C-alpha cells in the first residue's frame, strides 16, 4: 500500500507539472503577442507568467526530491526558457527582414502576391 505522504507528493508533482506546462505556454504566448502587436505593456504579464513557471518548476523539483545534478538541470532549463523566446524572436525578425530586402530588389515581389514594386 502507498504511504499517504508519498501520495501527497505524487499529487503535488502532478499539479506542479501541469502548472509548468500551462505557465510556459502563457509566457510564450504573451511574449509573442506583445512583440507581434507592438504592445510592450503586455510584457510584464509575460514575465509574471514566467515567475509563476519558475515557482511551479521549483515546487516540481522539490516534490520529486531532485538534488545535485538534477537541480542544476532545472535551473539551466529555467534560464534557457527565459532567454529562448528573445533569441527566437530576434532570429525570426532577422530572417524575415533579409527576405523582405531580397524581395524588394526584385521587380516582382513574391511577398505581396507577385505585384510589381513601385
Cell numbers that stand for 75 in this block: 535551473
Biggest CA–CA distance in the chain, Å, is 77
Q: What is the mean pLDDT of the chain?
A: 84
Domain ranges within the chain, ordered by starting residue? 4-105
pLDDT tens column, 15-69:
999 999 999 999 999 999 998 898 889 999 999 999 999 999 999 999 999 889 9
Q: Which of 12, 16, 49, 13 is nearest to 30 (CA)?
A: 49
Whether the Cβ atoms of residue 117 and residue 109 lie closer than 8 Å to each other: yes
pTM here is 0.73
Q: Is the pLDDT of residue 2 over 70?
A: no
What pLDDT sits at residue 116? 56
Q: Is the pLDDT of residue 109 over 90?
A: no
User: Phi, psi (5° rounding) for residue 108?
Assistant: -120, 125
Amino acid at each position: 500500500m502507498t504511504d499517504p505522504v508519498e501520495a501527497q507528493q505524487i499529487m503535488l508533482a502532478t499539479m506542479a507539472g501541469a502548472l509548468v506546462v500551462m505557465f510556459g505556454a502563457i509566457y510564450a504566448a504573451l511574449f509573442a503577442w506583445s512583440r507581434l502587436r507592438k504592445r510592450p505593456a503586455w510584457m510584464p504579464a509575460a514575465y509574471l507568467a514566467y515567475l509563476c513557471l519558475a515557482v511551479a518548476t521549483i515546487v516540481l523539483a522539490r516534490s520529486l526530491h531532485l538534488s545535485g545534478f538534477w537541480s542544476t538541470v532545472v535551473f539551466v532549463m529555467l534560464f534557457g526558457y527565459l532567454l529562448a523566446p528573445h533569441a527566437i524572436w530576434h532570429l525570426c525578425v532577422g530572417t524575415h527582414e533579409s527576405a523582405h530586402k531580397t524581395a524588394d530588389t526584385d521587380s516582382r515581389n513574391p511577398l505581396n502576391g507577385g505585384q510589381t514594386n513601385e
